[in-house]
Each structure stands twice: as structure tokens, then as C-alpha cells.
Amino acid sequence: MKTLLAIITLVLATSVHASLIDIGSTGTFELALKLANNQISFADRFDPLNGFEHIGDLNGGTFFSFQLSPQGTDALFLWDFSGTPFRMRYIDILGGNGIENVYRVTGPEWIKSGSPQLVTLDGKTPIGITDVYFRGPLNSVPDTGSTAALFLSVLFLTFSSPFLKGKVIPRARKEK
């Protein structure tokens, strides 16, 4: 038991708790797949010239704050979905020269960012358009049936256990 507690403590102490993960331009494939499967929805678009465009499913000015740096190469992004059924999932940043960078939001920061999160393309390229994606009550949650299979296997193992059927035969101790 002490070994198990030591292992759990070690795992918790050394695990990374990132809230905004830069998944680079390859994240566009992940975004496209999740949009096609209705796992996420388009929230809104931020244009540095016009601000939030209010073309998505959520009003960006209500849930998001986006502050572009004076150079325009990076920005501070803040969100707060407290008291709503929505969860922040992705931030997709596009540069004028075709560079794209995707950030995935993880963990407890799906609801509220806590502090402003820094987003950038590469630190040199000016940010063009920023698209925001969320998960809401109308989005599907993927399940390939593994949850049901796991549940049924636990039930089977539980009810087929010899301990529950009263068929446990105690072992005789060997005398020395």
C-alpha cells in the first residue's frame, strides 16, 4: 500500500498541467476532423482590423478578450465560460503569409482561462485572423463502444468472482 501511495504521489507531482498546448499547423487536421464529426463548433473570429466579427455560434465580445501586442506578432487571449454549458477547445491563428498555428485548450481551463494566455504564430509574423472553437451541449462526445465494453467486463468479473459465490476454500497452512 505504501508503494502505491508513493507511486501516485510521484505521478501527481511530476505530471504537466498545461492549459494551452501549441499543436502547430498540424492541428488543422485535428480541427477539421472534430468539426466534421460535430465534436466542436465555431465560436467566433477575431480580425485585428475589425475586432470580433460575431459570425460564429457565440458572441466573442461576451466570452472572450483578445489583446494584440503593438507589434501584432502575439496576443493575450482570455476566456470565461463560467455558468454556461460551453467549453473552450481550440484557438486557430492565421498569418497573412499562410502560416497557421493551432492551440488546444486542456484541463480545467476549458471553462475559464484564469490568466491571459499568450498566443503567437512564430514570434515574428503578424497575426491575421484568429478563429475560436468550443464544445457545447449540441456537440457529440465520441465513444467507440469501449466504455460499454469496459463496464460489461467489470460486471462479468465482479459477478463471476468465487468470493461472491461463496466458493472460496481457505488454504491449509503447512506445518514446519
pLDDT digits (tens, 9 = 90+) for 74-123: 899 888 888 888 888 999 998 877 888 898 888 878 888 888 888 888 88
Residue 168 pLDDT > 80? no
Spatial contact of 135 and 57, defined as CB atoms under 8 Å apart: no
Exposure letters 107-122 (e unless 16+ CB within 10 A, then b)? eebbbebeeebebbbe
Task: Tell me what the pLDDT averaged over the chain comes to.
Answer: 77
Kindly state whether residue 165 falls inside one of the protein's structural domains.
no
Answer whether residue 110 is part of any domain. yes
Range of the domain at 58: 15-135
Which amino acid is present at 135?
R
Instruction: Tell me if 130 is assigned to some domain.
Output: yes
Summarize the confidence of residues 122-143 as an average pLDDT.
84
Domain count, the chain: 1
Any domain includes 114: yes
The residue ranking higher by pLDDT, 123 or 27, is 123
